[in-house]
Structure 1
């Protein structure tokens, strides 16, 4: 598979997508898009023709990618970030936890964290059901995001929710039920292997063995479950699988003058902890979500329309009183032989070194419920001003959002007891406490967004104009912090001649109160040019060419990473000073880090060149982009600083870095008789480079971070393992005394010493290649889809207690991979250094020895469905009945075998799911 992954990556590189649409979508005028169609229907060719005709009418130039509801529904997930994984070119997602309700993904668009907007307002809800979403669009280049001004440099993700259409009431009901399992779990050693390896580690460290031959026999034979326990803690307190269910109902329709869409959704995701059914409370990790959405459009008159959108969400969380993360951390830190789960009398086992019994943490520590409530309402009025001039309109928009989270603590402490032997009283550690009953508001946020806009859309002869001017203000209050304001004035205008030659310009004058007066506002312009070659006479007769458009854009964007009013000098309470012959403590003040009142936002010069093409009556579509973004005036602390100052240095606009790369998307849809089929594939290559970061002078060029990729890892270069004491004695002098089996490092400067002067670039944790491929097939009511997703040129660092043996002051766990350690007998095959108790000063250095390939290829989602023939469904008064089974994260191919390559460092493992569903429309 290691050889196969690069080949698959190269093949996938030939397939990716970048259509073009402007931020005008947030004003209710979506513009043209090359839409990724993930469902297959017999009339798919007709649908794509209509799509491309719509695209040619708008003739926009921005670089975007989009995915719509049918594709999102094929991925089982509680949050939309997971639904778009592998579907959008240039968007990399990474999930670091499978904890129910806390399993959001990190999003990186062309290497940066994008701004998320819902229905045009910068307000993100990660947990949304797919039925409420019409489309998710990523806005990539400066032209697409120019109207976001000071928050445009990292790109944006625009979520557009469903709208009603004039028709009779259409009802849809969707039910899903399934099970989920961890994708991978740590492989710990049993008590016998642990004790044997522990003895070996102590001998390696020059100490005597801790376990006698009799101890080893007791562990191996299981003859003394109290004095020599062997507790598989994962099996003891964790379930092999947990339940997942979701129920969704929607109604939409409308008549003369109104349209509506209403959706209700319920989701329940159980955790992986076993629960004591005899107790009146639930101590398992648990997540329940309730969502209601209502979108209403009204035609007040022929020229005046109104929109009112409402969103409400309640999220109920639960976890054991000791917390999910603490329990899973304890499992990683507790050997099977540490103590028995229960003593002979049924009390909780424990001892001086282990006073927090894992069994007790799950079953006897109480529980911690919490709930979060969101509410958002946005309303708009749009007035057509054709009486003034044809194509002129005005619009106003107001959006309010409120979020509150309350955390309740109903945990309790418990005692553990050490069995000291027959006729000897148990030794008690800790005390049994009363159940805590407290609550606190942990988060309370309020957002207010207002906007007025004026637009103009008109064709005059051979010319077509599309213009928009927007004035807005984003008002945000987080908890007890002072309010942050983001005011802005922006505009966008495009002109096309004969629908062949296009020029588009956009700009925003916007700011942020994160900065001192005089440094708060700036101008962020962008311009684009396009040429529709397929409209030229010399290509009009090329029957197989449906569309060929070249486009290019350039602009300056902004990014606001500033801290909370940190342009104001702060002073902290001092610890006190003593005065006089009789010391008297007097409290004083100490200066916080120095401020830089002249700092401003970060900026980016963004170049994008691309083309869109369609062939064979639009059955085959291809989009490609090249981008080169230079981010400058990045806020960072001077590397050439000195502690002599006595205070911390402020952030300054010093840094520069480059993000460049290629994106490609290919879509093909067709049918042959009753068989319909399609493929939608994408890939993106990203290269980053630090251009300047004011780093200290480096003794050697290989130590410099400037010129390296952003986020580059630095450490020592491993040169295998020492095979003999002579080998260690004649090598460059390392950190301490080394022995055979320790890691050998390269002496890069040949000075005979291993120290900081020998550190260099050793890997990068962000992938340089991301790709995805969605395959679909349909035949006589059956439909099959499969999403494959992967990353390449990505590294994983396997350091710390999740991979190393006997951490936690020598009392920690040990893993199966530790058995591949160096010994004189395994010297030629060992893949792990000699084992030690606790931290080995030489082997624990960050080095290339611990850097592994993080490439992976994953079957992200697969679904098989069957739609009952209409003549049957009509007999039971239903428009459509569809049954389906769906799998998520089912298979993963990766050279990394120690854990799941995506969530390799997660305490709560990522989940794979299988579920069955029913969809009814009536």
Structure 2
């Protein structure tokens, strides 16, 4: 039966077509329902024919599968399953029936009777199509370096940010989460050591908050061949996010509700007031000063007999909740017919913070975050050869936090910095500093601590943040098979805008220090009790993105020869706040050829420019070439080794670019300097002119020559797949300030293209998926070894090789090499002298690297080794009779962290800071043989607290990043209440961690908001 398409004939026909197209956008669910019913009737027109094979096709969860292609392998006859999963195919006994559906493992089964029920398992990691920048490609003839994950993996993670959900799942991609603060808890990410370009539905964009249910796949593009068409944004790799589309079939509706609890993974462990005071006295004695806490003071702290004068406040317990709720709801629907397909999703997220609130407040002071997302993707066939796509996206974010201490000092900082201020106070305020409340209920404090932490958290007003993002993408694709088979043309226009605002409604509060007197308690006030101000709103960020693209492609097979070509032209204008626009212009093309999917070759070129460079130095050329050989296709392999499906050797090499131009730095700018009066104080005031940073008229883009060598293996009908890749990327013309500069010119030297750094490493991924009857299982692992060594840096003269930055890691830490503790005066006398410091027993001792008998700057060296850091992930799972389980282990090896600052060192902030459990293991004459910490001192210690190997600790860890268990109720039970399926599940995030540093989270440590452990449960209902 001929498909009904909209016709376009002349302007009059065009008007009718446009009207029909608009009506379809509104009425297509009803139209599709009617078409689906018609398709079902046609499918069963063969039901009464003798010899027909019948059966049901379901998922492993018992859900009926609509649209499964059932093919007689001999005759080629094809039918499709209906909405109930039923099919009927005329086929002879002994023939082979092939069952296929996108996203599921195909099955071939020999017909032995008249009934055959089939269960199809999902095959998300077995996809036969590779996502590319502007199109797709068959996996069998692709030679670029890429890797993908799909919706199911993302949905098993109860997190708010995509960055956290992809952690440990893709080789080459490493993540590091530095905070658990609601709304800002997205992990940083790096692709082979670089910050990749993020592309959403083919458009370069910022990676913002996104709903996992709307994502079809996340793909990393790693080598030059995969990214060269990006031109000046091709050097750092790319992350492709492709959202879901509707498919021909009955309307599918899915609703998910989930809720969980968040708890801190780790918090600093401060000392109680008694131990703090005891160690404080000890530190004073070590510094040659008299103790300040008497025996009576210590006893009062120990017994708690004087909570006002000798308090012992566990600030973390008083300010933080034990847990905080996490809630998410998602509703999405999809479907379509011959004329239109649609996908629609709405998502709501509520992530509450850890701060306690006060019942007396009529407003919220917690660090909460709420997010609302709407996504609509619609495809409409205006004719047999013309398809229009409309993608609409909207997101609103509302954040909340405590207010500012002083409204007059509010300067538009990010709202969540106030939360960090509270956590800094928790980490640096001694338990005995002041009582939380005085006997009369007033807030405790004194002249040294005028910011009561509880007051900061609950009595300083509140601050609201608001974020809004909207985007609209409209594209058309015209197949030109009527001109020549395989030719197509596509156009795309996109607009994206993002706005952030902060409203501060702060108030001041006073603290009081109580003192016992013969007539009772008297209080001294510090500060002023105020009322909430009306509020000050500031626009903190504004972003606009205009993108347009025109591309043409050709994909055709001539016998054993296959040719694929693509040409793309695009322009993008980005406006950030009040800056002038950032304009990218790129022309790119690719040409791929393969012979029997055995010998493969591809060439990619782009010509790209950016308006931040001078007119005569604005455009660059970026060529890349790649070759591949699938040895498994050779007859001497294919005819004899049936279990080997793929043995592909591939390589690529080429030049890529990175636009790191700054803000029109090729021009020299001047600004107002100091002013002077001419003619006395009542004369004319004239400003001087000050030259800003020197211009660099020769600035150009950074470049990278990238080499990639890969091997792909597919074994046992692709049940076992392995991919390993070696890469060596030379980044040069990197922008740096010359080390050999001079202050004699009276100005700052500009950034120049002079640096060179090599990034090299190994990526490996292996996956095995199989089943034993109804027991389906899989295991998949990946690791990335990445090294980044500075090959050239214009640095100041350094006398010794160990002092030089060239030849070291890009993240190298420089300092002294620790050599234990000074044990006594004799040890000090026989050791090298420390320049500018007289050590005492218990101080850190350092190695004299140049042997001159003096410890000084000439003994500073690179402390990290130059071995590659390894990031890895291991996921595994199974499903059986409705039960499913999955888990992800993620970690790192050969990683180092520098543990310094207020939570590691004692009595900071001029001696007013906190002390912690690790300080109990300090050096004393009695513990000299077992001490793990230097002798204590008050405030900053110029010897013990400089950068040294003593503070550089192992950052190795393995974390149970994610685990999920679920159960799908039998479909026959769900059908009784007119549902397709019901699945209940429970999952968790950051469930446990094995680390070399006990009591310290390997990713989030210090004074900030901690990483969170999440326990979550939910239900998914499908109609």
Shorter-normalised TM range: over 0.9
The C-alpha deviation readout for 1:253-278, integer Å capped at 9, x for no partner, is 00121000000000000000001233
2:287 corresponds to 1:287? no
> Alpha-carbon deviation of 1:583?
11
C-alpha distance in 2 between matches for 1:633 and 1:550: 31
Match of 1:14 in 2: none
Which of residues 611, 629, 651 is equivalent to 1:552? 651
Match of 2:918 in 1: 817
2:128 corresponds to 1:51? yes
C-alpha distance in 2 between matches for 1:46 and 1:563: 45
Match of 1:421 in 2: 516
Contact 1:96–1:906 (CA under 8 A) maintained in structure 2: no
Q: Quick check: 755-764 or 293-302, which moved more?
A: 755-764
Match of 1:512 in 2: 610
Instruction: Specify whether residues 209 and 45 from structure 1 end up closer, same or farther in structure 2 by C-alpha distance, changes over 3 A only.
Output: closer
1:406-555 aligned at under 5 Å gives the runs 406-422=501-517, 423=519, 425-436=522-533, 437-541=535-639, 542-555=641-654
- Specify the SS of the correspondent of 2:204: coil
- Specify the SS of the correspondent of 2:833: coil
2:455 corresponds to 1:360? yes
> Alpha-carbon deviation of 1:766?
10
Q: Which runs of 5+ in 2 are unaligned?
A: 1-101, 106-117, 131-135, 405-417
The CA RMSD measured in Å over matched residues stands at: 1.9
C-alpha distance in 1 between matches for 2:103 and 2:320: 43
C-alpha distance in 2 between matches for 1:830 and 1:583: 69
C-alpha distance in 2 between matches for 1:150 and 1:56: 27
> Alpha-carbon deviation of 1:43?
3.8
Which of residues 655, 662, 665 is equivalent to 1:563? 662
> Alpha-carbon deviation of 1:60?
1.3
C-alpha distance in 1 between matches for 2:1017 and 2:756: 50
Match of 1:701 in 2: 801
Contact 2:427–2:1007 (CA under 8 A) maintained in structure 1: no
Q: Which runs of 5+ in 1 are unaligned?
A: 1-33
Match of 2:780 in 1: 680
2:946 corresponds to 1:845? yes
Which of residues 175, 193, 199 is equivalent to 1:93? 175
> Alpha-carbon deviation of 1:573?
2.4
> Alpha-carbon deviation of 1:905?
3.1
Which of residues 765, 768, 793 is equivalent to 1:668? 768
> Alpha-carbon deviation of 1:703?
1.1
Q: Quick check: 137-146 or 577-586, which moved more?
A: 577-586
> Alpha-carbon deviation of 1:890?
0.4
Match of 2:291 in 1: 209
Instruction: Specify whether residues 656 and 306 from structure 1 end up closer, same or farther in structure 2 by C-alpha distance, changes over 3 A only.
Output: same
1:549-628 aligned at under 5 Å gives the runs 549-577=648-676, 586-628=686-728
Match of 1:860 in 2: 961
C-alpha distance in 2 between matches for 1:571 and 1:49: 59
Q: Quick check: 75-84 or 896-905, which moved more?
A: 896-905
Which of residues 435, 439, 448 is equivalent to 1:340? 435
> Alpha-carbon deviation of 1:512?
1.1
Q: Quick check: 224-233 or 759-768, which moved more?
A: 759-768
C-alpha distance in 2 between matches for 1:271 and 1:57: 44
- Specify the SS of the correspondent of 2:976: helix
1:650-665 aligned at under 5 Å gives the runs 650-665=750-765
Q: How many residues align?
A: 886
C-alpha distance in 1 between matches for 2:478 and 2:201: 19
Match of 2:201 in 1: 119
C-alpha distance in 2 between matches for 1:820 and 1:624: 46
Contact 1:42–1:676 (CA under 8 A) maintained in structure 2: no
> Alpha-carbon deviation of 1:657?
0.5
> Alpha-carbon deviation of 1:475?
0.4
Match of 2:832 in 1: 732
> Alpha-carbon deviation of 1:485?
0.1
> Alpha-carbon deviation of 1:119?
0.3
C-alpha distance in 2 between matches for 1:895 and 1:35: 41
> Alpha-carbon deviation of 1:441?
1.1
C-alpha distance in 2 between matches for 1:89 and 1:631: 21
Match of 2:352 in 1: 270
Contact 1:711–1:765 (CA under 8 A) maintained in structure 2: no
TM-score, structure 2 length as denominator?
Answer: 0.85
> Alpha-carbon deviation of 1:729?
2.4
> Alpha-carbon deviation of 1:587?
2.8
Contact 1:806–1:836 (CA under 8 A) maintained in structure 2: yes
C-alpha distance in 1 between matches for 2:590 and 2:244: 25
Which of residues 279, 296, 301 is equivalent to 1:197? 279
> Alpha-carbon deviation of 1:434?
2.8
2:859 corresponds to 1:758? yes
- Specify the SS of the correspondent of 1:302: coil
TM-score, structure 1 length as denominator?
Answer: 0.94
| Greater gyration radius | 2
C-alpha distance in 1 between matches for 2:303 and 2:1008: 31
> Alpha-carbon deviation of 1:689?
1.0
1:207-246 aligned at under 5 Å gives the runs 207-246=289-328
Match of 2:741 in 1: 641
C-alpha distance in 2 between matches for 1:298 and 1:58: 30
Match of 1:796 in 2: 897
C-alpha distance in 2 between matches for 1:564 and 1:434: 43
Larger RCO: Structure 1 or Structure 2 (Cα < 8 Å, ≥ 6 residues apart)? 1
Instruction: Specify whether residues 435 and 767 from structure 1 end up closer, same or farther in structure 2 by C-alpha distance, changes over 3 A only.
Output: farther
> Alpha-carbon deviation of 1:386?
1.6
> Alpha-carbon deviation of 1:55?
7.4
> Alpha-carbon deviation of 1:48?
7.4
2:792 corresponds to 1:692? yes
